[in-house]
């Protein structure tokens, strides 16, 4: 990191107040060819930066208001040290522009997002790109899209992150003209934790786009977003899964075409998108496995039980190898979000509240494996986790453990549960009246 340049005439507001008011700025040299300038006004001054480009040509940029009468905020009102940091960043950008490493002109967060989406199109599945674009359009670009990367500050990003964590949940379904765009959400600890976890995921996506812009030389520094940290301890897993009786009720409540998808999810733990694109030749009856293709860029083999194998044999019988295993009643494939309404309706008919989403079916498969004592490494392989960290986060507390076994086997029976003869006062009055 470059050493800060001292200047006794500009460092403090008291020293600056002694300067004579004039039309030309007072300059302090902060690096070779780079000067920080201060305009002394009648009430307050302002900061500029000037860079020498050679052949007698200078580039100049206004940085912000000096903290002569207002407290510095690091964004619009700058003290001497903050102005110097902004000047160095701008000077580095000018160097990169001169060397042809960074494009000249304004480069905004919207430009960075557009470049990012274009570049990942060749790397990720279309649905992943589509989902990323939705999040950028809904949660990032409205507030940050017009900001230039070189003027982006950690404070601005932190305020945006905090806003995400406190705003109401978005409603994706269509609404009438009289319905609000958002619905009220619970304000308990779990709801606040969930909103912070969502803000963390959106922040991660934004950082991915900005980091790619920095690595491609479209930004001179990544310090602004590196300083913004995610909320801590908000991703603690609270796994919801269905008991066997609930799973049976849910399956019986589903329409025939969607029932197969739900059964398959419970048998395999596969994601909705993986089952929607599953083809008949992905099922191997000899090994009783499914080949899940393009799942996060990989291929994994999901092991089926005898019950699961029998179901897939029936679903793929006399079908072409290239056919989708699961189709809607009208012969169309299951598309994005087609699962939500059938699951909501089936949950209501099955008496399961709150409604089940498709990921809970995946959690149900993993949870029952963990509760049956299946090693975490095996559960991770079945679900397609890259390693056991995610698996342990969600399912380790369900697995039989030495600690739980030791406590239950050795803690004495206190005999205190039946020591109180408590009778309901209401019941006692009723019996006396009769």
pLDDT of residue 181: 42
Print burial letters for 161-177: b (CB count within 10 Å at least 16), e (below 16).
Answer: beebbeeeeeeeeeeee
Nearest CA to 76 out of 110, 47, 39, 36 is that of: 47
Return the percentage of the chain with pLDDT > 70, whole number.
87
Residue 313 has pLDDT above 70, yes or no: yes
Strand pairing class (77-78; 283-284): unpaired
CA separation, residue 109 to residues 93, 121, 203, 212, 224 (Å) = 16, 18, 13, 12, 13
Residue 71 has pLDDT above 70, yes or no: yes
DSSP tally for the chain: helices H, then strands E: 18, 8
Q: Which CATH code for domain 109-173+182-226? A: 1.10.150
Return the percentage of the chain with pLDDT > 90, whole number.
52
Give 185's pLDDT tier (boundaries 50, 70, 90).
very low
Cα-only R_g, the chain: 31
pLDDT of residue 126: 82
pLDDT of residue 295: 47
Q: How far apart are CA 85 and CA 420, in angstroms?
A: 72
Let me know if domain 13-98 sits in CATH 3.30.160: yes
pLDDT, tens digit, 9 for 90 and up, residues 28-54:
999 888 999 999 988 889 999 999 877
> In the chain, what are the domain boundaries?
13-98, 109-173+182-226, 244-406
Q: DSSP character for 61?
A: E
pLDDT of residue 104: 61
Mean pLDDT of 342-347: 95
pLDDT of residue 425: 52
Nearest CA to 379 out of 353, 401, 399 is that of: 399
**244-406: CATH class:** mainly alpha
Left, alpha or beta for 294 (phi > 0: left; psi -120 to 50: alpha)? Answer: left
Q: How far apart are CA 233 and CA 251, in angstroms?
A: 35
pLDDT, tens digit, 9 for 90 and up, residues 217-258:
778 788 899 999 999 877 665 678 999 999 999 999 999 999
Report pTM: 0.58
């Amino acid at each position: 990191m470059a050493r800060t340049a001292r200047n006794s005439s500009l460092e403090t507001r008291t020293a600056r107040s002694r300067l004579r008011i004039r039309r030309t700025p007072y300059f302090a040299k902060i690096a070779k060819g780079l000067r920080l300038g201060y305009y002394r006004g009648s009430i307050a001054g302002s900061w500029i930066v000037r860079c020498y480009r050679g052949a007698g040509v200078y580039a100049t940029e206004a940085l912000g208001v000096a903290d002569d009468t207002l407290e510095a905020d690091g964004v619009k009102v700058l003290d001497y040290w903050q102005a110097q940091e902004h000047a160095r960043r701008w000077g580095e950008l000018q160097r990169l522009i001169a060397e042809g490493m960074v494009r000249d002109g304004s480069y905004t967060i919207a430009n960075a997002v557009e470049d990012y989406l274009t570049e990942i199109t060749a790397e990720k599945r279309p649905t992943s790109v589509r989902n990323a674009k939705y999040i950028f359009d809904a949660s990032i670009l409205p507030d940050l899209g017009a900001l230039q990367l070189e003027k982006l500050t950690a404070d601005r990003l932190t305020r945006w992150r905090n806003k995400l964590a406190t705003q109401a949940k978005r409603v994706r379904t269509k609404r009438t003209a009289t319905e609000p765009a958002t619905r009220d959400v619970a304000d308990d600890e779990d709801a606040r934790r969930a909103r912070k976890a969502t803000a963390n995921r959106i922040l991660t996506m934004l950082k991915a786009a900005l980091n790619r812009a920095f690595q491609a030389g479209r930004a001179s520094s990544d310090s602004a977003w590196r300083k913004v940290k995610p909320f801590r301890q908000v991703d603690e897993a609270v796994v919801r899964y269905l008991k066997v009786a609930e799973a049976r009720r849910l399956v019986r409540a589903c329409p025939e075409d969607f029932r197969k998808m739900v059964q398959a999810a419970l048998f395999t733990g596969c994601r909705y998108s993986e089952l929607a694109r599953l083809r008949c030749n992905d099922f191997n009856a000899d090994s009783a496995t499914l080949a899940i293709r393009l799942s996060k860029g990989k291929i994994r083999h999901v092991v089926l039980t005898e019950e699961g194998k029998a179901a897939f044999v029936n679903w793929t019988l006399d079908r072409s190898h290239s056919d989708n295993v699961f189709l809607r009643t009208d012969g169309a494939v299951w598309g994005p979000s087609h699962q939500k309404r059938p699951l909501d309706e089936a949950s209501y008919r099955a008496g399961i509240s709150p409604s089940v989403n498709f990921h809970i079916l995946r959690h149900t498969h993993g949870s029952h494996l963990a509760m049956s004592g299946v090693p975490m490494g095996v559960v991770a392989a079945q679900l397609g986790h890259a390693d056991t960290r995610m698996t342990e986060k969600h399912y380790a507390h369900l697995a039989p453990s030495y600690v739980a076994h030791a406590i239950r086997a050795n803690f004495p029976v206190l005999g205190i549960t039946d020591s109180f003869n408590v009778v309901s006062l209401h019941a006692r009055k009723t019996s006396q009246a009769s």
